[in-house]
């Protein structure tokens, strides 16, 4: 499928995509804060600079975009049709980096929650928040939402 905008416009659009304080992340932060959970943001001393760090619960929450982090089976996980080798390599590096960071966090004793953007986007934030809240109060080391 051909792109509907010219290269300069597409480049400007891609450059404007944020890595921090995204809409799904803000949505989750607001719900957690309203429920009394306190957290630090983007801790530079932890692998991958997790989006939310809850020291009291020894937990981190990572909100992942389906497109950039390759959420398997998700309709938002499309691939550009132009310059395929570049995108394949870029996505591959991102997924490998995510795996490495997850492993390092777990090995360091952190509990890790992975929340996919589509879970929050589909209006599933209530179920997602309930599952996260239960997980935080429990002792599980890893949770991925939506659960596979």
pLDDT at 15 over 70: no
Q: What pLDDT band is residue 41 in, cutting at 50, 70 and 90?
A: very high
Q: What is the pTM of this model?
A: 0.85
Task: Decide which of 16 and 31 is more confident.
Answer: 31
Of the candidate CATH numbers 2.70.50.60, 3.30.43.10, 3.90.1170.50, 3.40.960.10, the domain formed by 19-145 belongs to 3.40.960.10
**How confident is residue 39, by pLDDT bands cut at 50, 70 and 90?**
very high
Contact assessment for residue 68 and residue 97, using Cβ atoms and an 8 Å cutoff: no
Strand order in the sheet with 59-64: 40-41, 52-54, 59-64, 111-116, 142-145
Taking residues 99-107, report their average pLDDT. 97
pLDDT digits (tens, 9 = 90+) for 46-74: 999 999 999 999 999 999 999 889 999 89
Which among 148, 124, 111 has a CA at the least distance from the CA of 31?
124
Retrieve residue 37's tokens: 């959970």
Model confidence at 34: pLDDT above 80:
yes
- Each domain of the chain, given as residue ranges in start order, spans 19-145
Average pLDDT over residues 119-127: 75
49 prior amide bond cis, ω within 30: no
Asked if pLDDT for residue 148 goes beyond 70, the answer is no
Instruction: Tell me how far apart the alpha carbons of residues 130 and 112 are, in angstroms, rounded to a whole number.
Output: 16
């Amino acid at each position: 499928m051909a792109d509907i905008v010219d290269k300069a416009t597409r480049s400007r659009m891609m450059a404007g995509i944020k890595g921090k304080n995204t809409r799904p992340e803000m949505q989750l932060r607001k719900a957690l804060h309203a429920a009394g959970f306190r957290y630090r943001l983007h801790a530079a001393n932890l692998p991958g600079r997790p989006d939310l760090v809850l020291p009291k619960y020894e937990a981190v929450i990572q909100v992942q975009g389906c497109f950039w982090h390759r959420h398997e089976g998700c309709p938002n996980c499309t691939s550009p049709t132009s310059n395929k080798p570049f995108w394949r390599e870029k996505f591959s590096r991102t997924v490998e980096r995510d795996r490495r960071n997850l492993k390092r966090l777990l090995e360091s004793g952190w509990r890790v929650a992975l929340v996919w953007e589509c879970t929050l986007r589909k209006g599933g934030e209530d179920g997602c928040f309930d599952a996260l809240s239960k997980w935080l109060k429990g002792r599980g080391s890893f949770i991925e939402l939506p659960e596979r």
